[in-house]
Amino acid sequence: MARAQRFLRSRRQGTTEAAADAPASRPRPRSSRPGVPVIDIQDVHKTYSVGDIAVHALRGVSLRIERGEYVAIVGASGSGKTTLMNILGCLDAPTRGIYRLNGLDVRGIDEDSLSDVRNREIGFVFQSFNLIPRTRAQANVELPLAYAGLARAARHERALTALHQVGLGARVHHMPSELSGGQQQRVAIARALVTNPAMILADEPTGALDTVSSAEVLGIFDRLNDQGRTIILITHEQAIAAHARRVVRISDGMIIADERGERAEALR
């Protein structure tokens, strides 16, 4: 299944309303434990096999990201950014190395449970929006809540709140085709937010947008981070990375720099 579809899918079986919270038997990140990083990866490698050739996309990446951080992962095309995002988003498994998401070691978790973790803990934003066509903005935003088994009225309310948060309160009944690219991406951000995830993971979220829409979208990420959201933004553009408070540089499958600082004032 393509990554873009898989990120949305959660349980295969139908769920009851109470199942919005996972049963105790399922592995569950310990979100509330203070001092536990949202992301903790240690010496992660990813090797793709293409015929006889091994492509070493990640070569020993270690990274900790704490709650409330705004991190940009920057690197040239082919440096391994998307591979890293797929691993951070539990869409793909490392060849070697450890990944703890909110303290939970994700190795060995079966696909169903992993979908639950993904649906609950991670809000995805992609370059190509990945909205469901011919489906109104509000229904698009409700989708992860439907997978989580939330009742209809609660879904409506939370979707409306999320759409208001991204400034689209007046567009809730629009179809994706009736929205600009920037507005579509804001719907996607609302969808990423609606489950109240531990982090937002965005891969080149402004890659398909004009300058004005890009600024709007980045402004939303800035605001969300000001409100305490953990944001991980993957980009090849330096100006976009300047919105983050921490910039991690990746080259040839390795982290070559990890810099912290204030957000560039000029870009706010």
Q: Closest residue (Cβ) to Mg ion?
A: 82
Contact 220, 166 (CB under 8 A): yes
Question: Between 82 and 184, whose beta carbon lies closer to Mg ion?
Answer: 82
Question: Between 72 and 148, whose beta carbon lies closer to ligand ADP?
Answer: 72
Best CA proximity match to 231, nearest among 247, 216, 215, 213: 247
In sequence order, what DSSP letters do the residues of 218-268 get, joined into one string?
HHHHHHHHHTT-EEEEEES-HHHHTTSSEEEEEETTEEEEEEE-PPPGGG-
Give buried/exposed letters for 209-248 (b at 16+ CB in 10 A, else e): beeebbebbbebbbebbeeebbbbbbbbeeebbbbbbbbb
Question: Between 83 and 130, whose beta carbon lies closer to ligand ADP?
Answer: 83
Q: Which of the listed partners (Mg ion, ligand ADP, none) does 256 bind, with a CB threshold of 5 to 8 Å by partner kind?
A: none
CA separation, residue 221 to residues 171, 240, 249 (Å): 20, 11, 20
Q: Give the residues lining the site for Mg ion (CB under 5 A).
A: 81-82
Question: Between 82 and 183, whose beta carbon lies closer to ligand ADP?
Answer: 82
Q: Which of the listed partners (Mg ion, ligand ADP, none) does 211 bind, with a CB threshold of 5 to 8 Å by partner kind?
A: none
Least separation in angstroms between residue 127's CB and Mg ion is 8
Question: Between 82 and 119, whose beta carbon lies closer to Mg ion?
Answer: 82
Question: Between 72 and 179, whose beta carbon lies closer to Mg ion?
Answer: 72
Q: Give the residues lining the site for ligand ADP (CB under 6 A).
A: 48, 50, 55, 57, 75, 77-83
Least separation in angstroms between residue 108's CB and ligand ADP is 22
Contact 229, 201 (CB under 8 A): no
Least separation in angstroms between residue 236's CB and Mg ion is 8
Q: 45: Cβ–Cβ under 8 A, 6 or more apart, which residues?
A: 56, 58, 59, 60, 61, 94, 95, 96, 97
Least separation in angstroms between residue 77's CB and ligand ADP is 4
Q: What type of residue sits at position 77?
A: S
User: How many angstroms separate the CA atoms of 52 and 128, rounded?
Assistant: 32
Question: Between 10 and 83, whose beta carbon lies closer to ligand ADP?
Answer: 83
Contact 23, 109 (CB under 8 A): no
Least separation in angstroms between residue 207's CB and ligand ADP is 11
Q: Which of the listed partners (ligand ADP, Mg ion, none) does 48 bind, with a CB threshold of 5 to 8 Å by partner kind?
A: ligand ADP
Least separation in angstroms between residue 46's CB and ligand ADP is 8
Least separation in angstroms between residue 39's CB and ligand ADP is 17
Contact 39, 66 (CB under 8 A): no
Q: Which of the listed partners (ligand ADP, Mg ion, none) does 75 bind, with a CB threshold of 5 to 8 Å by partner kind?
A: ligand ADP
Q: Which of the listed partners (ligand ADP, Mg ion, none) does 24 bind, with a CB threshold of 5 to 8 Å by partner kind?
A: none
